[in-house]
Amino acid sequence: MSDVLLALLVTVPLVAAIFPLLFGLRYENAGWPIALAGSLVVTGLAGTLAWEIFTASTETGQRLVHEMAGYPAPYGIELVGDGLSALIALLISVVSVAVLIYSRSTGPGSNAFYSGFLLLMGGLLGMTLTGDLFNLFVFLEIVGLITYALVASDDSGMAAYGALKYLFLGTVGASLYLIGVGYLLVRTGSLNMLDLQARLADIGYTEPLVQAAFGFILIGLMLKIAVFPLHTWQPDAYTYAPDTVSAYISALVSTTAAYALIRISFDVFTVDFFAANQLITDAVVLVASISIVVGSLLAAMQTEIKRVFAYSSVAQFGMIVVAIGLNSRTALLGAVIHLVGHGLMKATLFMGAGILSSAYGATTISDYAGLAKRSPITSGGIAVTGLALVGIPPSIGILGKWYIALGAVESGSWSVAIIIFISTLLTLTYVARIIETLYFNPPEATHEETAASESVEHVAVGDEAVADGGLETRVATERIVVVAVLAVSTVALFASVDLFTELLDPVFGRFFQ
Amino acid sequence: MIEPTIRPLAAVAVSFVAAAFILASGRRPNLREAWTVLASVSMFGIVASMVPGVLAGEVYVTNLGTVLPGVDFVLRADPLGVLFASLASLLWIVTSFYSIGYMRGLDEHNQTRYFASFAVSVASAVGIAFAGNLLTIFVFYEVLSVATYPLVAHDETPEARAAGRKYLAYTFFGGGVLVLAGTVLVYWLTSLAPGAESATVDFTPGGISALANADPTAASVAFIVLALGFGVKAGLMPFHQWLPSAMVAPTPVSGLLHAVAVVKSGVFGIARVVLDVFGPETLADLGPASFGDLGIALPVAIIASITLTVASIIALRKDHLKRRLAYSTISQLSYIVLGLALLEGDALIGGLLHIPAHAFMKLTLFLCAGIIHVETHTDNISEMAGIGRRMPLTMTAFGIAAAGMAGIPLVAGFVSKWYIVIGALDGGNAVFAGVLLVSGVLNIAYFWPIVYQAFFETPDDHDTKPLLEGPFGGRDAIRADGSGRTDDHGTVDIDASVDPDANHEGGVHHAHDDTDEHHDDHHGHHGGPPAGGWPKRNWRGGESTWFMLGPILTAAALSLLLGIIPHTIVFMRIVETIVGNLPGVVV
Amino acid sequence: MIDPGSVLTTDLVGLATTRHAYVLFVLLSTIGLYMLIANENLVKKVIGVNMFQTGIFLFFITSAYRVGGSAPIIEGAGPYVSPLPQVIVLTAIVVGISLTAVGLALSIRLYNEYGTLRADALREVIGDE
């Protein structure tokens, strides 16, 4: 029974994607409820999947398999649900629901958008669950195509520009990935991940063709993840996309690509490959370390808020890729926790930024001056999430960082450990600026309302007061609630280590035999 | 005996909850202040209720579940924790009343944020006190940094924001980078220990046993990283720069947080690391043989000695009273660190006892500085000649506390310093005893003139202050207002930044501001005596409001009591229990 | 199957005569990639992407080839060429066409908005660094 769950997880959103357009012919606002219903169903399915794996005691129970159309592996395509993919599937579905609730009043509200949204969700889930390399490519491209379209769904020329830039680089990335897969196919004749693992082990990991295959796959996926210096598409795409879309893709698209990299690195090539190719391992660690530092510095230099968050992703994903290169079980646990945590945090930050930009037109850091008094809840959400991103406990941010750092220490990579510890300060450079502006910079007098509300305050009680709700009522309440709930969840997940270890232990047990 | 109870958690939670109530009742100032007072009193009550049990050997533990394998989020009231927690909660009561007087007296903005942050800060300080392991202390240490940031940047002026940034950068370098790194190292080292089931970072009196056999180099690195990480908040040089800058905060903040909670949490962290993570015996064994008896603690002792001497000398040169106090704080904190680093029974007692002693005295001094600021808008020592006429009670309290700082008998500072000096001599480290005595002289040199001129000089006839005025090395001739040589901001007018009144012209002034002291506030001149010299005020509280005088006299009285009857007011007994529990330490 | 390492050791003449399809794959892909990077015209960039992908398709098809093999249809007589790469390429072509369509649509929108198809001009207008 349970294997059908996997098929449903992928097909429900894909099939549901038809309906917004179909019913859209008749009802103008059919899109949102359908999309919400679809993602709620998916959330239920993902929850069930995670719960089944969480409670399973047998090895087969912890790794559910569905053979598509009944063709057995390695000839047919299989969907695989284990602790790792269940976790990512859960993240995808939860963020989808959150973003949908957030998007109700702000759009982009066309039915085509919600069709795209569901397709994207289906693509992401497909990437997460597939056990086949070429199938992964197809889902990668589905995700890519929809993302380009959604980025451009803001009718501005800039959005089209960002989308096109993303399209060029994204396609190159996917194609490089495809070359790598081609090499593996040529050498082994198989595309199934586990089958490949066995065959590669027979062939040995030092063959140039195998090394080249990994190289192409790595670079292709790094392009999709947006690791420095392959990140150039990402800030434009995040910045020019509509707020809803920025929140969604920043939380999930790169995340799923990073998940794919983890999956391929450890399920196909395995730790032995890394051990046999020290040069490749070192290169991965080096590039990712540079990404952490440079991404943070670039983020600190930005003035536009969405760009700050975009470059911040470059840095944070650097941290995740570093953990992959460290080739340590502890670090990989940290990487997965940070993957999930970063997804939640970035979604919150972009949604918070979306609220402030739609309420006050604030898009740069200096526009944020004094907004904390007028939007206390949203600002609080941004501040809390920002601090979580820095890695201030108690939050999920510190958990991921803890394990990645511990992994670096365990494997004796002192320079990496130092960079990860220093990353607190690096992240602080941009987060502190935002918080300080929100709370301690006097509002700019150019905003007429600002001046008005200020004077009211002083007459009233001599300190803050007034603001709660006042101006923020212009923003739909559910958007604020979503931001607040997500912000609280980033803090609450500090207590979630058991969940992660329980789900991931069997998977990592296979990775690190 | 370990007793599971929710009391440690309750002590922490009461003030977190209070913060929520304070935020919710922001529009009704009286109710809001009631929450603060209620929370501080009940917090002190809860902490005090544990003191007898702790002295009898009980340890109260609240376990909140596992965070990492082998590491629980646990609050644990042991003697050391109770020492710091009782201190912080007691002085929170004192400061709460003072805050109310101060903030209303100056008609400050954003008082709700101020009181809420204050409550969270004290809560995390008590959390630090009761933290049962390195991870828990790290969590509260970081929360404390976040919660005090709004207090430092409270004024929202460019200088306050700059100070806030500096504060964040320093404390997160200490906490998020160094303490985290040290914790990870300890976790890693203990997981490697032979026979260890899982890693541990739990505090154990006398040290975690697994560390005694760990790789010496890595263990030494872990100790130094942790000591420096906590040392940032403890104002160890060269990480002390944030403290003087943070003086732009309102004075109660400087008082409680920068003489009691924040800086003491740094010192307390070092105490935990020395006593309960590594243990004096392990530390003495670590480090190269040339380090002698002190082992790896020697570098820390040296840094502390340098800090306490240099900071005293810098303090001599500061004309701005709060800044002089800030450098005095830096210097006094290093007494504690030095006492701990000497790894000897008496020195440990002295160092630990100096935690409450310094807290009482320095709080008195800061509160005096604050009341002078509120009443006369005077911040610079050079303008305070004869101020004893205007504020007799305040300056008397100031005199008592200053005497204690210098180590004069019958005041708290004497007892603790005595023990540290004895410990240094006993351990054969006469050099450090010498450093302490020299610093005592310097203490007198920078405090005595203030007291002397307050009572025995008049504005028209007084010596120039500060004593040392020329720049070190003879360069840097430009000086704005005597506030210091390389004081980061050149000619920035410090008075303007600590004087929020300048931005709040319409504010309702306190009833006691009945003289003409405010007339020229907005024309460049701040503070100093009015034209005809200081008016004479009586000794019955005519100089200010009892909201502020009461706390000052309480704090001063506590410093005296701790100096005269240290055992009776419990702190000495707690300290002796702590040191007595350490295996291998002879008192 | 390629003998790993032989590609490098075989002399260039051998490479050109026996592995010409792979040489073509590399050439086409590189030219496509170069076009994408170096040409400022958006439509030509799209063509470059297409060429890049076509090179890769060619690689897949080549890898399926075997001497004397017939199309992998059950009725015919064996031996067959490998069917798997054919399927892959069919799918990939579909993906490629969709990408081209989206790329061209975006180019048209940019042209309508800014009146140019040149990437450098667009960068200037938009102020992209």
CA B383 – CA B466 distance, rounded (Å): 11
Residue B483 pLDDT exceeds 60 = no
Angle at C75 between CA C70 and CA C76, to 5 degrees: 25
pLDDT less than 70: residues of chain A: 1-2, 107, 109, 444-474
CA B276 – CA B208 distance, rounded (Å): 7
Interval A132-150: pLDDT, tens: 899 999 999 999 999 999 9
Question: Domain for residue B143, yes or no?
Answer: yes
Please report the pLDDT score of residue B477 as a whole number: 42
Please report the pLDDT score of residue B526 as a whole number: 55
Residue B152 pLDDT exceeds 50 = yes
Interval C55-102: pLDDT, tens: 999 888 888 777 777 777 767 667 777 788 888 899 899 989 999 999
Q: What is the full DSSP assignment across B84-96?
A: HHHHHHHHHHHHH
Read off the pLDDT band of B473 (50, 70, 90): low
Read off the pLDDT band of B522 (50, 70, 90): very low
Report the percent of chain A where pLDDT is more than 70.
93
Cross-chain residue pair A494–B156, CB shorter than 8 Å: no
Please report the pLDDT score of residue B466 as a whole number: 60
Question: Domain for residue B379, yes or no?
Answer: yes
Instruction: Specify the range with the lowest mean pLDDT, choosing from A41-50, A85-94, B291-300, B415-424.
Output: B291-300
- Tell me whether residue B494 is exposed, middle or buried, using C-beta atoms within 10 angstroms of its C-beta: 0 to 12, 13 to 18, 19 or more: buried
Provide, as residue numbers in chain A, all residues whose Cβ is less than 8 Å from the Cβ of C2: 186, 209
Spell out the alpha helix ranges (H) of A361-375: 371-374
Question: Domain for residue B306, yes or no?
Answer: yes
Task: Indicate left, alpha or beta for A361 from its phi (over 0: left) and psi (-120 to 50: alpha).
Answer: left
- HEC string for A320-342: HHHHHHHCCHHHHHHHHHHHHHH
Residue B542 pLDDT exceeds 70 = no
Residue B499 pLDDT exceeds 70 = no
CA B331 – CA B327 distance, rounded (Å): 6
Range of the domain at B570: 2-469+541-580
Q: Check: CB of residue A311 under 8 Å from CB of residue A235.
A: yes
Task: Indicate left, alpha or beta for A461 from its phi (over 0: left) and psi (-120 to 50: alpha).
Answer: alpha
Output helix, strand, coil percentages for chain C, rounded to the nearest 5. 70, 5, 25
Tallying the residues shown for chain A, one arrives at 513
Asked: is C6-126 a CATH 1.10.287.3510 domain? The reply is yes
Provide, as residue numbers in chain B, all residues whose Cβ is less than 8 Å from the Cβ of A406: 184, 187-188
CA B218 – CA A207 distance, rounded (Å): 39
Provide, as residue numbers in chain A, all residues whose Cβ is less than 8 Å from the Cβ of C5: 208
Indicate if the alpha-carbon torsion angle B275, B279, B280, B283 is positive or negative: negative
Residues 6+ apart with CB under 8 A from C93: C57
Say what the alpha-carbon torsion angle A479, A481, A487, A491 is, to the nearest 10 degrees.
-160
Say what the alpha-carbon torsion angle B181, B182, B184, B187 is, to the nearest 10 degrees.
180
Question: Domain for residue B488, yes or no?
Answer: no
Residues A65-95 as b/e (b if ≥16 CB within 10 A, e otherwise) read: bbbbeeeebbeebbbbbbbbbbbbbbbbbbb
Residue B174 pLDDT exceeds 50 = yes
Comparing CB atoms, the residue among B68, B181, B507 nearest residue A497 is B68
Instruction: Determine the residue among C1, C95, C120 to mutate to test chain A binding: the one whose Cβ has the most chain A Cβ atoms within 10 Å.
Output: C95
Please report the pLDDT score of residue C76 as a whole number: 66
Report how far Cα B398 is from the mean position of its chain's Cα atoms. Answer: 17
User: Contact partners of C by the rule of 3+ C-beta pairs under 8 A?
Assistant: A
Interval A370-415: pLDDT, tens: 888 788 888 888 999 999 998 888 888 888 888 998 889 888 888 8
Q: What is the mean pLDDT of residues B310-335?
A: 85
Q: Check: CB of residue C99 under 8 Å from CB of residue A141.
A: yes
Task: Indicate left, alpha or beta for A71 from its phi (over 0: left) and psi (-120 to 50: alpha).
Answer: beta
In the block, which residue shows the tokens 């709060």? B322
Cross-chain residue pair C84–A185, CB shorter than 8 Å: yes
CA A56 – CA A62 distance, rounded (Å): 6
Report yes or no on chains B and C touching (3+ CB pairs under 8 A).
Answer: no
Interval A445-470: pLDDT, tens: 544 444 444 433 333 333 333 344 44
Report how far Cα B555 is from the mean position of its chain's Cα atoms. Answer: 14
User: Contact partners of B by the rule of 3+ C-beta pairs under 8 A?
Assistant: A
Q: Is A179 on the interface with C (CB under 8 A)?
A: yes
A220 and A328 fall within a common domain: no
Of A505, A327, A330, the C-alpha closest to A401 is: A330
Please report the pLDDT score of residue B380 as a whole number: 80
Residues A148-160 as b/e (b if ≥16 CB within 10 A, e otherwise) read: bbbbbbbeebbbb
A181 and A306 fall within a common domain: no
Q: Check: CB of residue A407 under 8 Å from CB of residue A332.
A: yes
Helix, strand or coil, per DSSP, at residue B386: coil
CA B214 – CA B193 distance, rounded (Å): 7
User: Which residue, of A101, A131, A161, is where some domain finishes?
Assistant: A131
Comparing CB atoms, the residue among A393, A405, A440 nearest residue B164 is A440
Give the count of domains, chain A: 3
Please report the pLDDT score of residue A460 as a whole number: 36
A337 and A405 fall within a common domain: yes
Q: What is the full DSSP assignment across A125-152?
A: HHHHHB-BHHHHHHHHHHHHHHHHHHHT
Provide, as residue numbers in chain B, all residues whose Cβ is less than 8 Å from the Cβ of A382: none
Question: Which amino acid belongs to residue B183?
Answer: T
In the block, which residue shows the tokens 């902490």? B47
- 10 Å Cβ neighbour count for B469? 14
Q: Which residue has the higher pLDDT, A197 or B373?
A: A197
Cross-chain residue pair A161–C126, CB shorter than 8 Å: yes
A313 and A453 fall within a common domain: yes
Question: Which amino acid belongs to residue A217?
Answer: I
A292 and A408 fall within a common domain: yes
Provide, as residue numbers in chain B, all residues whose Cβ is less than 8 Å from the Cβ of A464: 26, 110, 112-113
Range of the domain at A341: 277-513
Please report the pLDDT score of residue A105 as a whole number: 80
Comparing CB atoms, the residue among A158, A168, A191 nearest residue C45 is A168
Q: Check: CB of residue B190 under 8 Å from CB of residue B143.
A: no
Please report the pLDDT score of residue A145 as a whole number: 92
* Mean pLDDT score across all residues of chain B: 78
From A206, which residue of chain C is nearest by alpha-carbon distance? C4
ipTM: 0.87
Interval B98-145: pLDDT, tens: 888 777 777 777 778 888 888 888 888 989 988 888 888 998 998 888
Nearest Cα of chain B lies from the Cα of A232 at a distance, in angstroms, of 29
Please report the pLDDT score of residue B513 as a whole number: 39
Please report the pLDDT score of residue B221 as a whole number: 87
A496 and A380 fall within a common domain: yes
Give the count of domains, chain B: 1
Q: Check: CB of residue A132 under 8 Å from CB of residue A195.
A: no
Question: Domain for residue B506, yes or no?
Answer: no
Of B132, B119, B222, the C-alpha closest to B179 is: B222
Cross-chain residue pair A145–C99, CB shorter than 8 Å: yes
Q: Name the token pair of C113.
A: 């908005």
Q: Name the token pair of B438.
A: 């020299």
Read off the pLDDT band of B475 (50, 70, 90): very low
Report the percent of chain B where pLDDT is more than 90.
0
Q: What is the full DSSP assignment across A169-190?
A: HHHHHHHHHHHHHHHHHHHHS-
Question: Which amino acid belongs to residue A466?
Answer: V
Strands B59-68, B2-4: pairing is parallel
CA B437 – CA B459 distance, rounded (Å): 33
Q: Which residue has the higher pLDDT, B262 or A123?
A: A123
Task: Indicate left, alpha or beta for B156 from its phi (over 0: left) and psi (-120 to 50: alpha).
Answer: left
Q: Is A364 on the interface with C (CB under 8 A)?
A: no
Indicate if the alpha-carbon torsion angle A249, A254, A257, A259 is positive or negative: negative
Residue B527 pLDDT exceeds 80 = no
CA C86 – CA C102 distance, rounded (Å): 24
A483 and A355 fall within a common domain: yes
Please report the pLDDT score of residue B532 as a whole number: 65
Cross-chain residue pair A160–C113, CB shorter than 8 Å: yes
Residues 6+ apart with CB under 8 A from B548: B97, B98, B101, B102, B105, B367, B370, B371, B374
Read off the pLDDT band of B90 (50, 70, 90): confident
- 10 Å Cβ neighbour count for A134? 22
Q: Which residue has the higher pLDDT, B493 or B462?
A: B462
Q: Check: CB of residue A96 under 8 Å from CB of residue A114.
A: no
Interval A43-59: pLDDT, tens: 999 999 888 888 887 77
